[in-house]
Amino acid sequence: MKEISGGVVAAKGFQAAGIRVGVKASALPMEEQTGEGKKDLCMVLSDSCCSVAGMFTTNQVKAAPVHLTREHIAFGYGYGVIANSGNANACAPNSRLHALEMCRAAAEATGHQPEEFAVCSTGVIGQELNVKAILEGTPRLVAALHADECASDEAARAIMTTDTVKKEIAVETMVGGKRIAVGGIAKGSGMIHPNMGTMLSFVTTDCAVSPAMLDRMVHEIVPRTFNRVTVDGDTSTNDTFLVFANGQGGNETICQPGEDYESLKEALMYVCTQLARKMAADGEGASRLITCLVEGAESEKKAETLSRSVVGSSLVKAAMFGADANWGRVLCAMGYSGASFDPETVDVTFRSQAGEVAVCRMGSALNFDEEMAKKILSQQEVVIHVLLREGSQSAACWGCDLTYEYVKINGDYRS
């Protein structure tokens, strides 16, 4: 398996596009006319029918596009997705009608059926969607579809909200003796907390796989990738992860677990892990990515629980912002995680590109070089390594530091 270019259009038979239609009411007329400014409407489309699987927010308050997409992919088939940024179409007037209208517009412009499209929205909650701009812009969006490398870039940027960087990746691997590709895009910066977060992620592959096997893979992958990201403790109303597999890679269709199943799952796992890490690194106002790796646990579930508690701790996140080697906050976060462990067997080490420093052994403080620790914690990615000494299982979760900018961004998000 190796990384390749192309993102969400790296796989055969997929096209994408992203344009600006002026979803937000604050859009300037000139921007609407010229197409300048932030893109806010995208489509990913296959030229043949796909197996489709997805997972969605666990929030009891779910946006209309989430409900409708779940209905549309219930039988496991479809052609693509239409998505907008600038408005979540959640808890808003006419939200289901507007989601349906987006699917109908996509279907009419492409010659498919409305139920063959997924629909996603992201942005502010509780305000009626400017669906008129979307419906008028959809024919232009479809006309802009293409499979060049920049297509993925356009689509990725069109679903960004407070994201500061696009998030895309693609890999190539062998399945059943055929070379297949898996690529994806994602958005997510704030309201990120297991399970999933205010994230949208669309992944495509030209591998042939049945809807049932694809759904099984998705349910194995998401708990170990997107559900291990936390930025701020808030779970959104719109989280959606979708995988489209059109089978144009030419492999024999994967209809049961086995070597081919594991090969595709490995590629999907890699793509989703990298997208999850990109979201954590781009947390609202973040200056560094935090990875907590817990090893030596008696179960993977316990390791995940402890790791998630550490990266989700506001005090740990604040210490990381200040490059302060306050390892006591790590143990404290582990202690209220709900997972049982013996604190007197725990080691804690901080690592980064600048080196590593052991700060705790067997639950007690170690003498360490504070200046070296500060240098290590000042890098763009910091790893908090925790050793438990009770078993052989491990898990890593991802988060980011907590900065002044996070409060500034969310203090006036609606404006």
Instruction: Supply the residues annotated as catalytic.
Output: 198
Q: Which two tokens stand for residue 268?
A: 């999907």
Residues 6+ apart with CB under 8 A from 242: 52, 53, 54, 69, 73, 81, 118, 120, 201, 202, 203
Tell me the C-alpha distance between 151 and 178, whole Å: 25
Q: Distance between CA 82 and CA 88 in Å, rounded?
A: 13
Query: Tell me, what amino acid is at 233?
Result: G
**CA-to-CA separations, 377 to 59, 352, 367, 397, in angstroms, rounded:** 34, 7, 17, 17
Return d(Cα 69, Cα 10) in angstroms, integer: 24
Cβ-based neighbours of 74, under 8 Å, separated by 6 or more: none
Going by their DSSP bridges, the two strands 117-122 and 77-85 should be labelled as: parallel
Structural contact between residues 347 and 361, judged by C-beta atoms closer than 8 angstroms? yes
Give how far the C-alpha of residue 310 lies from the chain's centroid of Cα atoms, to the nearest Å: 20
Spatial CA neighbour of 175 closest among 243, 242, 254: 254
Instruction: Look up residue 141 and give its amino acid.
Output: L
The one-character DSSP state at 231 is S
Count of H-run helices and E-run strands, the chain? 12, 15
